[in-house]
């Protein structure tokens, strides 16, 4: 189905995932495989379950059924240490979710210092290198409220990346940004992709999806309706619902 032969064991494997809020079934029997270094792009209308899927993978939501395996470990098992799993994945939110009371640098060093017990000097040099990487080293002492949306989102990406996660989850990270700022964030993601970062991202930027995705998944009503290489799913969708969704976006 993925269009790519699965040569190695997938880094992430989702099987029969189900999640509902009350009577509202948000994810309904979702299957997904992500190979190391792969970039999977989730597309679909608002409410199709993209965010919930990402939140389930980061264990921010307790699943109702199904299994999520990360690097061979069943992370939906209540016996696993959820904090340990989360420390191996990074997530970036649509609304940045930076801590407004901390400087940019402290936002980035918080987890390395408190979770990974890295010494302050070491954590700060790593954080500064990461901020340099996202082009914001000179803003290290600024507060999040003093930055533009694009800058805040790049700090959020640095915060997620500084722990060298196995998997980076990005939830509509450009939705709150203007086109110019979208460009700066997408360029950064493209570079991370080139460096071999494994990513799952949800987006409404079809051009970006076409460029960076190895696999595009179209979610509709909590199901993966169609998945495959971008040329197939975006270029020649099989499902009428996918065609309908894409035509609305283009026009």
Please tell me whether residue 31 binds another protein under the rule CB under 8 A: no
State the number of CA atoms in the 13 A half-sphere of 73 facing the CB: 14
Conformation bin of residue 161: beta by default, left when phi > 0, alpha when psi is -120 to 50: alpha
The residue whose two tokens read 């509202």 is 24
Q: Which C-beta is closer to another protein: that of 122 or that of 239? A: 239
Interface segment toward another protein; rule CB under 8 A; list 2-10, 73-81, 151-159, 242-250: 73-81
Q: 236: which 2 tokens?
A: 């020649």
Q: Which C-beta is closer to another protein: that of 79 or that of 248? A: 79
Residue 198 to residue 160: CA distance in whole angstroms: 13
CB distance 42 to 34 below 8 Å: no
Please tell me whether residue 65 binds another protein under the rule CB under 8 A: yes
Interface segment toward another protein; rule CB under 8 A; list 4-12, 65-73, 135-143, 172-180: 65-73
The residue whose two tokens read 């190895």 is 214
The residue whose two tokens read 């203007």 is 178
What minimum distance in Å lies between the beta carbon of 20 and another protein? 8
Angle formed by the axes of helices 104-114 and 120-133, nearest 10°: 130
CB distance 124 to 155 below 8 Å: no
Burial degree of 194 (CB within 10 A; 0-12, 13-18, 19+): exposed
Q: Which C-beta is closer to another protein: that of 29 or that of 106? A: 29
Please tell me whether residue 77 binds another protein under the rule CB under 8 A: yes
101: number of Cβ within 10 Å: 10
What minimum distance in Å lies between the beta carbon of 6 and another protein? 22
- Which H/E stretch holds residue 26? strand 24-34
* Residue window 79-98: x/- pattern of binding to another protein, with contact defined by CB under 8 A: x-------------------
Binding-site size, another protein (CB under 8 A): 16
Chosen residue from 13, 35, 76, 109 binding another protein by CB under 8 A: 76
Chosen residue from 44, 49, 66, 165 binding another protein by CB under 8 A: 66
Interface segment toward another protein; rule CB under 8 A; list 4-12, 13-21, 33-41, 121-129: 13-21
Please tell me whether residue 221 binds another protein under the rule CB under 8 A: yes
Site for another protein in 158-187 (CB under 8 A): none
Would you tell me which residues interact with another protein (CB under 8 A)?
Answer: 16, 18, 20, 23, 25, 28-29, 64-67, 76-79, 221
């Amino acid at each position: 189905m993925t269009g790519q032969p699965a040569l190695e064991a997938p880094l992430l494997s989702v099987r029969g995932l189900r999640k509902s809020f009350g009577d509202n079934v948000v994810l309904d029997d979702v299957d997904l495989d992500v190979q190391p270094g792969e970039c999977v792009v989730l597309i679909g209308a608002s409410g199709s379950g993209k965010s919930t899927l990402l939140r389930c993978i980061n264990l921010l939501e307790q699943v109702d059924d199904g299994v999520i395996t990360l690097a061979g470990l069943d992370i939906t098992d209540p016996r696993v240490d959820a904090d340990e799993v989360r420390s191996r994945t990074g997530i970036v939110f649509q609304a940045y979710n930076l801590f407004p009371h901390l400087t940019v640098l402290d936002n980035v060093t918080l987890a390395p210092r408190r979770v990974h017990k890295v010494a302050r000097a070491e954590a700060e040099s790593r954080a500064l290198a990461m901020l340099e990487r996202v082009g914001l080293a000179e803003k290290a002492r600024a507060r999040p409220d003093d930055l533009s949306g694009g800058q805040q989102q790049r700090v959020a990406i640095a915060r997620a990346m500084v722990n060298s996660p196995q998997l980076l989850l990005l939830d509509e990270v450009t939705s709150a940004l203007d086109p110019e700022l979208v460009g700066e964030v997408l360029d950064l993601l493209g570079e991370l992709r080139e460096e071999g970062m494994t990513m799952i991202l949800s987006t409404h930027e079809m051009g970006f999806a076409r460029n960076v995705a190895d696999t595009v998944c179209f979610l509709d009503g909590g199901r993966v309706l169609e998945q495959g290489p971008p040329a197939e799913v975006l270029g020649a969708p099989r499902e009428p619902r996918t065609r309908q969704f894409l035509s609305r976006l283009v026009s």
